[in-house]
Amino acid sequence: MRGRADSVAAWAARGLVPVHVVPFGDWTVVQPAGPSLGHAPYDDELQVLAGRPVPWRLRSTIGLFAVGGNAVVTMHPHGWRAVQRWVVWVPRRGVVSPERLAAGRPGDLARTAGAGPAATRSVVDALRDPSGDAGRVLADLCHALALPGARLLDGDDRPEDMDGHRLVQPGQQHVARFHAAVDEDARLRAEMEED
């Protein structure tokens, strides 16, 4: 995420997932530190983080996730009304169209990262080969876009050992408010189905 670590930590505390927050210059890396505190279907920490909206003041933001063996990349471009976009890479198939989500292109990813046009070619190369695995694709994208934290992504470094690291736990009041909203939504849907 673009933005100061303090602002990113405040955003993280309003979520469902405990995270490690590590500053890297203009970027701040957010990495799950435990399971989601949400009830099903909000109990998968990677899916919850990947789908969570990012406020405009913390954009541009790029998320790199290995979910179910697939590489999932989220992009929150800078701008107040910018749409979150997704790139999904599947082993043995390559890039697939994300269902019910706005698809992103290699150029979108390079622009969101603040990388030049040459980075678009490197992004295309990283996504082209369907024979790799999600971890390798994500690491290649991280390098192609000159994003910080590649060693955290591949597990070579631990976030706890990095300068400026902080562990952020979700605020219980935010978790309770989220569950209350989900329960109310389910109740309203049930009532509408009865009519």
Q: In the predicted model, what is the mean pLDDT of residues 11-25? A: 95
Residue with token string 């736990």: 169
Using one digit for the tens of pLDDT, what is the confidence trace for 76-124?
A: 998 888 899 999 999 999 999 998 999 999 999 999 999 988 899 999 9
Q: What are phi and psi of 72, to 5 degrees?
A: -120, 125
Residue 153 CA to residue 104 CA, distance in Å, equals 21
So what's the pLDDT on residue 195? 65
Quote the domain boundaries for residue 55: 5-194
3-state secondary structure of 106: helix
Using one digit for the tens of pLDDT, what is the confidence trace for 61-87?
A: 999 999 999 999 999 998 888 899 999
H-run or E-run covering 70: strand 70-76
Which residues have CB under 8 Å from 160's CB, separation 6+?
20, 167
The amino acid at 112: T
- Count of the separate structural domains present in the chain: 1
Q: In the predicted model, what is the mean pLDDT of residues 50-56? A: 92
